[in-house]
Amino acid sequence: MNLLPGLRIVFDELTQRFGAQIEHAHAPQLNELYLHTPVVLAGGLCSILYRKYQARLAGVFAEDARARDKAFFVYYLYALDSAHGFVIVRVPVPADHPELPSLTNAIPAVNWQEREVQDLFGLKLVGHPNPRRCALHDDWPEVHPLRKDFDLKTQLPPFQGERHKFRKVEGEGVFQVPVGPVHAGIIEPGHFLFSVAGEPVLYLQLRMFYVHKGTEKLFESLPIPHCVRLAESISGDSSFAHATAFCHAIERAAEVDAPPRARALRTICLELERIYNHVADIGAICTDVAFVTAHMHAMRLKEQVLRANEQVTGNRLLRGMACLGGVRFDFDAEQIQALSNVLNSLEPQFNSLVELIRSHSGTRDRLETTGVLKPEVSRDLGVVGIAGRASGFDHDLRRDFPHAFYDQVSFTVPVFTEGDVQRRMVVRREEIFQSFAIIRQTLDKLPSGPIQSRLEQVPPDRVALGYVEGWRGEIFHWVHTAPRNRLARCKIKDPSLQNWPALSEAILGNIIPDFPVVNKSFNLSYSGTDR
């Protein structure tokens, strides 16, 4: 068994402890270890990974394997940052007794993901503190869309059941303020129900999944090459990151590596996506505290990056660039020089924007100590990306699990512990400076050669994990291939799904007028969550 040394140590220790109870261990990649264990052992094994090895729960998902194995499989994806590897615990749930013990009380980060499994596969959660529907709304009929016997073309009857009942918060002077699900803007729907006593927020309840699109089911209906375009549509502001994560998964399943030049071009595009989104968010945060001048400057800088995107890839949002085996378009000398010129022009302009914001004491007063997410809460909820790094989360897939060209460049991961809106904005600011450096280093070291590896038929019954550190946080695509160049299963994990519950914690004790800026400092994707 070929494994990274750190993963090998973990595997040997777990095998020594549990013996034959851990079965069918295999490693399709050096940094992926699969452990098959009975459902009664799942809680104990996951607890050891979580507490002894400080593994992070990066995802929980299921697969309908009734046709071959007369069972559902539930997978717990753990990231061992210190070992630079992943442990995937596979637990069979008998088809004739579809019940799954909940781990939410021990590991709060699994809450929404366990409930997704319950909704989409019909596996009853045992011992979950709040087993109500999550992905499916209360008035849906009893259907489980990710089971194999659910037809994608099914026409469901008009929904007639009860609507979602929010929890009551009672007490003298306590009242509730609903916001949404339809908002006064172009964002997608999400329902926020505030319980307040006077001005401070006592409790915030969230209801998402109003536009659940069934994307994971759609992956099963398309030839693998066509799935790249579907991956681009998961979350519009992360088109390239999601497409790259999907391509990465398929390439690992097919045991094909993208050429060095393609990996370098992917890195450049990922950082361009990070820059234009971070710049836009900094401007939007300023707007929410009435500093419109800074917002207008930020939008001007964002437009420059979008035009650069179009110049080098043909699309402002980098769509159509990613493909299986590499990238679709190369950069010629003129485009490389143009991109370098944009960076040289953009950096001093961004410095001026930073100084403008720093000089505005009113903005700093509104952002500091607002929307605090404590490090211990961040750890329990498994918060990732921008929000996690502003609350002491010292992890980044680019550094800890190098992919694309990231092992060839030097950069620093900004981490703070205050966890307020100000630090979430500063994380964005510092990451932009690091992105400038990453792109310049990549351009300086840009390898020659092809931009695609040949990848036609993907072998069936392969499993693989693709991953990318998107601008919002870590993105995972797990695939199980099927015959005739199709997929039996594709699991999508957008960072927003992990981070939404943290918003309820960050807003506590703040006032409702501060919610827009707190919400914007997380800037989570409705589309990436709903999928």
Please list, in sequence order, all residues whose beta carbon lies within 8 angstroms of the beta carbon of residue 41, skipping any fewer than 6 positions away. Answer: 18, 21, 22
The reply to whether 159 falls in a domain is no
What's the pLDDT band for 114 if we cut at 50, 70, 90? Answer: very high
Among 286, 444, 272, 435, smallest CA distance to 353 is for: 286
Q: Which residues face 36 on adjacent strands?
A: 23, 90
Question: pLDDT tens-digit profile of 271-305?
Answer: 999 999 999 999 999 999 889 999 999 999 999 99
Question: What value, to the nearest 5°, has the Cα angle with vertex 91 and ends 136 and 39?
Answer: 100
- Calculate the dihedral angle through the C-alpha atoms of 42, 44, 45, 50, rounding to the nearest 10 degrees: 120
229 and 374 co-located in one domain: yes
Q: Which two tokens stand for residue 429?
A: 């600011």
Report the alpha-carbon distance of residue 325 to residue 489 in Å, rounded. Answer: 20
Count the residues in the chain.
531
Report the alpha-carbon distance of residue 129 to residue 56 in Å, rounded. Answer: 21
359 and 505 co-located in one domain: yes
- CB contact at 8 A, 467 and 476: yes
Per-residue pLDDT for 25 more than 70? no
Helix axes 260-287, 239-254, angle to 10 degrees: 150
Q: Give 431-457 as a DSSP string.
A: HHHHHHHHHHHHHHT---S-SB----P
Per-residue pLDDT for 24 more than 70? no
- Across the beta sheet with 201-207, what order do the strands follow? 174-179, 191-197, 201-207
Prior bond to 181 cis, omega within 30? yes
The reply to whether 17 falls in a domain is yes
How much of the chain exceeds pLDDT 90, in percent?
A: 60
The reply to whether 135 falls in a domain is no
Question: pLDDT tens-digit profile of 383-410?
Answer: 999 999 999 999 999 999 988 899 999 9
Helix axes 333-358, 292-313, angle to 10 degrees: 170
265 and 381 co-located in one domain: yes
Scanning 160-235, the segments in alpha helix (DSSP H) are: 215-219, 227-232
The reply to whether 346 falls in a domain is yes
Scanning 158-226, the segments in alpha helix (DSSP H) are: 215-219
Label residue 241 exposed, middle or buried (CB < 10 Å: 0-12, 13-18, 19+). buried
Per-residue pLDDT for 465 more than 70? yes
Domain boundary among 126, 159, 180: 126
C-alpha 133, offset from chain centre: 21
Q: What is the CATH number of the domain that holds 464?
A: 1.10.645.10
Report the alpha-carbon distance of residue 389 to residue 427 in Å, rounded. Answer: 7
Label residue 204 exposed, middle or buried (CB < 10 Å: 0-12, 13-18, 19+). buried
Q: Which two tokens stand for residue 494?
A: 């957008």
- Residue 30's domain comprises 5-126
The reply to whether 202 falls in a domain is no
Report the alpha-carbon distance of residue 512 to residue 196 in Å, rounded. Answer: 8
What's the pLDDT band for 199 if we cut at 50, 70, 90? Answer: confident
Q: Which two tokens stand for residue 257?
A: 């590596």
275 and 407 co-located in one domain: yes
Among 396, 417, 370, 404, smallest CA distance to 472 is for: 396
pTM: 0.94
- CB contact at 8 A, 210 and 181: yes
What's the pLDDT band for 261 if we cut at 50, 70, 90? Answer: very high
* Average pLDDT score, the chain: 90
219 and 117 co-located in one domain: no
83 and 224 co-located in one domain: no
The reply to whether 371 falls in a domain is yes
Per-residue pLDDT for 171 more than 80? no
Q: What is the CATH number of the domain that holds 18?
A: 3.30.460.80
The reply to whether 150 falls in a domain is no
Domain boundary among 57, 92, 126: 126
Domain count, the chain: 2
Question: pLDDT tens-digit profile of 300-351?
Answer: 999 999 999 999 999 999 999 999 999 999 999 999 999 999 999 999 999 9
Domain boundary among 72, 100, 126: 126
**What is residue 1's predicted lDDT score, i.e. its pLDDT?**
64
**What is residue 179's predicted lDDT score, i.e. its pLDDT?**
86
- CB contact at 8 A, 46 and 39: no
Looking from the CA of 29 toward its CB, the CA atoms found within 13 Å total: 23
- CB contact at 8 A, 443 and 336: yes
What's the pLDDT band for 250 if we cut at 50, 70, 90? Answer: very high
Among 216, 261, 300, smallest CA distance to 490 is for: 216
The reply to whether 343 falls in a domain is yes
221 and 110 co-located in one domain: no
